[in-house]
Amino acid sequence: MPQNRNSNKSISMKNKAAITTSTMVEELRKRNDMSYDDAKATVRSFLDIIREGILDGRNIKLTSVGTIESTIRQGGVGKNPKTGEKIIFPKRRSVKFTVSRGLKDELKEIPVDDYDDE
């Protein structure tokens, strides 16, 4: 049965192993014939640059991947559903990721028939 396009249901991709920092170090080492220590230092430096940029309120544009955007979420007023008590949410900094158009187009080309609903 076809799934409604507007449905919020998504298919789990948990069967795919996460790419961790260690995975990136190992992959960089293999692809560039680097020592483990050099690859580790390179990955750490790259991640530090991204982290520092986010903390500084800058956007990080990774052309073939997407944009990591530092944002400010507006505060507001809410209500505790159990007690009915009014709750005030302060402004806070947040991070938003937007996939690049090229990557989005590439994703559209990958068949999803291999994934089952869980």
Per-residue model confidence (pLDDT) at position 35: 97
Which ranges of the chain does DSSP label H, i.e. alpha helix? 21-32, 36-55, 101-109
Strand, helix or coil for residue 89:
strand
What are 39-67's pLDDT values in tens digits? 999 999 999 999 999 999 999 999 999 99
Using the predicted structure, report yes or no on whether residue 22 has a pLDDT greater than 80.
yes
25: tokens are 């170090």
Using the predicted structure, report yes or no on whether residue 1 has a pLDDT greater than 50.
no
Per-residue model confidence (pLDDT) at position 3: 45
Q: What is the mean pLDDT of residues 20-40?
A: 96
Contacts of 86 (CB under 8 A, 6+ apart): 77, 78, 79, 80
Under 8 Å between Cβ of 79 and 118? no
Per-residue model confidence (pLDDT) at position 11: 57
- Least confident among 41-50, 81-90, 104-113: 104-113
